[in-house]
Amino acid sequence: MSQAPANVTNTTGTYNFAPGMGETVLYSYGIAGVKRTALTQQHFEDARMASGMIMGRWGSDGVNLWSVDLQTIQLVQGQATYQVPANTVVMLDMYYTISSGTAQIDRIMLPVSRTEYASYPNKQQQGAPTVAWFDRLLSPTVTLWPVPNGQQAYFKYYRLRQTQDSNLANNANVEIPWYYLEAYAFALAYRLALIWNPDRAISLKPQADESYGIARNQNTETANFYVSPVINGYWRQ
């Protein structure tokens, strides 16, 4: 009888592990020490609420790379302020685009605070925008300065957006990448244990924190970082 070579592995060759929220809720209740046979409608309502709270907490704790997208606003000459989608958490890199025939040229812009924007004496001055103030209202806006003078076609910005809602219906997936699944399960188990099994919550907290820390370390961009100090201003002839 022939045997397979020793160096051949019998793996699945698939990458489909993506449990839905319903499956994860059952798993998390098990971690929390609540049996599946004891679950009621109230248990699932608490799980939906806890999941939404977790997503909000993670969205407030740095930049979730999977929730970053590029937005484009068409610029109008003489108009300084533009509406921003309400699900925008924070603006990241920003620039404006000049359209010249078939070519498009981008120019980077920098963020400023409300205080710095307030210090500009002529807020209606037109020119090529160099800075943008993101006003983080419930209906947020962005204000450019100098005000576009008609030569700029678009304002573009990368943003961190709110993660999508958690929904138990149809076993929908939670909007997180594969490497956050364990962190999510433990975070959910901890929050549910606070409600349904407080004694278990004490031991779950460090496990949830450890899992989140591991996932958070993976949630980074791999790129070089350069620091170039400018010292010429310190010296006088």
Residue 224 located in a structural domain: no
Give the pLDDT score at 206.
97
Looking at the structure, tell me whether residues 55 and 93 fall in a common domain. no
Looking at the structure, tell me whether residues 82 and 198 fall in a common domain. no
Give the pLDDT score at 224.
80
Give the pLDDT score at 227.
76
Looking at the structure, tell me whether residues 157 and 191 fall in a common domain. no
Residue 230 located in a structural domain: no
- Model confidence over 147-200: pLDDT tens digits? 999 999 999 999 999 999 999 998 999 999 999 999 999 999 999 999 999 999
Q: Where are the beta strands (DSSP E) in 9-129?
A: 68-74, 81-83, 88-100, 103-111, 126-127
Residue 228 located in a structural domain: no
Looking at the structure, tell me whether residues 29 and 97 fall in a common domain. no
Looking at the structure, tell me whether residues 58 and 174 fall in a common domain. yes
Number of H helices, E strands in the chain: 5, 9
Give the pLDDT score at 237.
47
Looking at the structure, tell me whether residues 147 and 85 fall in a common domain. yes
Looking at the structure, tell me whether residues 206 and 150 fall in a common domain. no
- Total structural domains within the chain: 2
Looking at the structure, tell me whether residues 76 and 136 fall in a common domain. yes
Distance CA 88, CA 53 (A): 17
- Model confidence over 115-129: pLDDT tens digits? 999 999 999 999 999
Residue 49 located in a structural domain: yes
Residue 90 located in a structural domain: yes
Looking at the structure, tell me whether residues 81 and 95 fall in a common domain. yes
Give the pLDDT score at 233.
55
Residue 223 located in a structural domain: no
Residue 41 located in a structural domain: yes
Looking at the structure, tell me whether residues 89 and 201 fall in a common domain. no
Looking at the structure, tell me whether residues 144 and 29 fall in a common domain. no
Looking at the structure, tell me whether residues 87 and 145 fall in a common domain. yes
Q: 0.75 cut: is pTM over it?
A: yes
Give the pLDDT score at 7.
67
Query: pLDDT below 70 — which residues of the chain?
Result: 1-7, 230-237
Contact 70, 135 (CB under 8 A): no
Counting Cα atoms < 13 Å in the Cβ hemisphere of 207 gives: 18
| H or E, element range at 17 | none
Q: Of 138, 161, 184, which closes a domain?
A: 161
Domain span at 49: 21-63+166-218
Residue 139 located in a structural domain: yes
Give the pLDDT score at 235.
47
Give the pLDDT score at 103.
86
